[in-house]
Structure formats: structure tokens, C-alpha cells
Amino acid sequence: MSSPSPIPGVLDIAPYVGGDSKVEGRDDAIKLSSNESALGASPRAREAVRKLADELERYPDGGSNALRHALAEANGMDPARVITGNGSDEIISVLTHAYVAPGDEVVHSQHGFLMYPISTRACGGKPIAAPENDYTASVDAMLAAVTPRTKIVFVANPNNPTGTYLSADELARLRAGLRDDVLLVIDAAYAEFVSRNDYGTGRELVDRFDNVVMTRTFSKIYGLAALRLGWAYCPTEVAQVFHRVRGPFNVNAAAQAAGLAALADTDFLDTARRHNDTWVPWLTDAFDKLGLEVIPSVGNFVTVRFDGKPGLSPEAATAFLKSRGVIGRGLVPYQMPGWLRFTVGKEAENRTLVAATAEYLQSADG
């Protein structure tokens, strides 16, 4: 008797492992491993979730109508083209299931977000990693990786875990080089943190073309990762495909209520943005002064090289930092084994991270 077996590709998936959250024997660990918000969620969002505790017997609105309309209004979009998901992870996964058949190909950049190859393999598709330049996606390499079997090109902009980005012009060049039947998914999970003049979220490409989707999330700057809430702006046809494949109540009621409240709290958003604008350069400079290579980041995290010098190792650094209560993220699954990624924390957390790193470097030296 043979046992049930999944479709080809599924068993090739290395399951996604989230950032560590615990240090044995301590309850004061500083978790800088998952690009969560340093400042938590808006008080208005927290209040919205508390209120919901009295209505837990009700199904949520399966169309996320109030939230979709609020997102559309805030961004000048047609609500019929705004979709919501159980995290942007779900949107990535559902779109991949809807457009990729076994044997089809999906292009992503070499150090791109892991859910792209995972979702592709889950459909029996073939992920194709296009080489990057200096830890930045290369439009030419991605276009060169496209074949007649390509169904989707994913690009995270900015990318996790590198923190680098493509300019609006480069994104436009990527779209211009694709066939019209290839879906371009621009994952702008960290868009709110970016303040560069040449950056664009990709929404103007969604306005203009029928094969471009922009995904966003409430998990990062809005601090709602626990609730799982993502959204996307799509061509009408893609939105209709998404609604056919998604679960009927894919976004829970707490996520919808908190998302609506968070969206209205623009002061909180500004505060979170200012915090990041202060601490990304501070951390970058501090690691640089310690003699460590840092990739210039426009996200809410910095990625630092720990194998650049004799005596250093990312594993030893991870263990040392943990002994000081600090949890970073190893990047072996992203084919960056020498690097660690640290999310921006609160001021004291950032200072502890840098002090502990300095201490590690001294111990490695001696």
C-alpha cells in the first residue's frame, strides 16, 4: 500500500521558520528578528480589538468592505480593485495558486523574500532566482530569467532581507520588458518606511497596466503582525480571480477593525516613520564604526556582515548577542549565511544591540 503523497514540489519546500522570539532563561529578550514595529500598534487599533471581544460569535464581513473602501479612499483607488488577505503572505500564496500550474516558472531575485519560492513550489511550479548586483535586484537579470513558461515575476521593493530597493524608473523598465501575460507582483511591504525621491510603490504601474499587482501589509509600520492583515491593489480581473480562490472569510474581524482604526491614526504613522528615520541611520553608522559591513537599508531593519573578518562568525555572534538578551535573524535560508539582520527597536534596544555587538567583537578579538 502506498501512502498519500502531495503534488511534486511540495516535499522540496524548506518550511518557513519565523524569527526566534525567546532566549532560554530570560523574560526580557529584545526581539529584533521579524521586522516588527518598534513602537507597537496605534492605541486606536488596540482599542478596536478590545471592543471586538464582545462580538466573537459573529462571522467577519467576508468582503472586508469598510476596510477596502477606507484603503481605496486613502489612496485614491477604485475599491473594487483593492483586495485584502490574511497577511500579504496569503495574497502571495493565493495569486500563485491561481496563476501557476505544475511546471510553470516564477521569477524572483536571488535574495528575495522566501514566500515567493515557497508558494511556487506549493503549486508544483519552478522558482527561478535571478542574480542580484550588490544585494540589489537586477532588472536585467530578472528579465533574462523570463521564459515562455514564466507566469509571475515577484519583486519585493524594498526587499527583505537586504533592505535595498529599485527606483520607480527601474520598476517601470521591469514591467516594460515583460510580456503582457506575465503577472508582475510588486511587494511593497516596507513602502511606508521609504523616503527616497526616486522610490515608487508601483501603484502607478497598477493604474496603467493590466498585469501589475502591488501588495502591502499592516504587519510592519502599523504594528499589526499578530492579526495578519495584508492588502493589494490589482487590475479588476486579478481581483476577481483572487476572490474566486481565497477563503470566504479570509480576513478576521479583529484584523478588519484594527486595520480601519490604524489607517485613521496618521499621527501614529508619522511617529513610527520618524522613529525609523532616526534609528536606521544611527544603527548603520554604529555598525560601520565597529568595522562591520552594513547594506544600506530603506526598510525598518539593517543587515550586517559577520563573516568579513578572521575570528568572526554569524553563529558565534548570534549566540553572544543572545547571551546579552538580543535576538537577531540568521540569513542562511536567504543564501546570505555570513549576515545577520536586525530590526529597528526602541532606543534602549538599539543601544543594547550595538553595545552587545561591540562586546562580541572585543571577545572575538581577544
- Interface ranges with ligand PMP (CB under 6 A): 35, 87-89, 113, 156, 160, 187, 189, 217, 219, 225, 230
Question: Taking each helix axis from N to C terminus, what angle separates 266-289 and 347-365, rounded to the nearest 10 degrees?
Answer: 20
- Min. distance of Cβ 329 from ligand PMP in angstroms? 10
- Min. distance of Cβ 284 from ligand PMP in angstroms? 19
Residue keyed to cell 558565534: 316
- Min. distance of Cβ 191 from ligand PMP in angstroms? 10
Output the DSSP codes for 152-199: EEEEESS-TTT-----HHHHHHHHHTS-TTSEEEEE-TTGGG---TT-
- Residue of 184, 160, 187, 163 lying closest to 174 (CA atoms): 184
Query: For residue 314, which phi and psi values (nearest 5 degrees)?
Result: -65, -30
**Nearer residue to ligand PMP within complex by CB, 87 or 328:** 87
Residue keyed to cell 520607480: 168
Report the residue closest to ligand PMP, judged by CB.
87
- Min. distance of Cβ 280 from ligand PMP in angstroms? 16
**Nearer residue to ligand PMP within complex by CB, 84 or 352:** 84
- Min. distance of Cβ 103 from ligand PMP in angstroms? 25
> What span, in angstroms and rounded, lies between the C-alpha atoms of 267 and 274?
11
> What span, in angstroms and rounded, lies between the C-alpha atoms of 239 and 64?
13
**Nearer residue to ligand PMP within complex by CB, 193 or 279:** 193
> What span, in angstroms and rounded, lies between the C-alpha atoms of 191 and 272?
13
**Nearer residue to ligand PMP within complex by CB, 249 or 320:** 249
Cα 18 versus chain centre, distance: 12
**Nearer residue to ligand PMP within complex by CB, 17 or 319:** 17
Q: Which residues contact 252 (CB under 8 A, 6 or more apart)?
A: 60, 86, 227, 228
- Min. distance of Cβ 88 from ligand PMP in angstroms? 3
**Nearer residue to ligand PMP within complex by CB, 129 or 364:** 129
DSSP H helix total and E strand total for the chain? 12, 13
**Nearer residue to ligand PMP within complex by CB, 42 or 219:** 219
> What span, in angstroms and rounded, lies between the C-alpha atoms of 292 and 307?
9
- Min. distance of Cβ 231 from ligand PMP in angstroms? 9
- Please state, as a whole number, how many other Cβ atoms lie within 10 Å of the Cβ of residue 11: 9
Question: Grid coordinates in use for 46?
Answer: 488596540
**Nearer residue to ligand PMP within complex by CB, 159 or 211:** 159
- Min. distance of Cβ 52 from ligand PMP in angstroms? 20
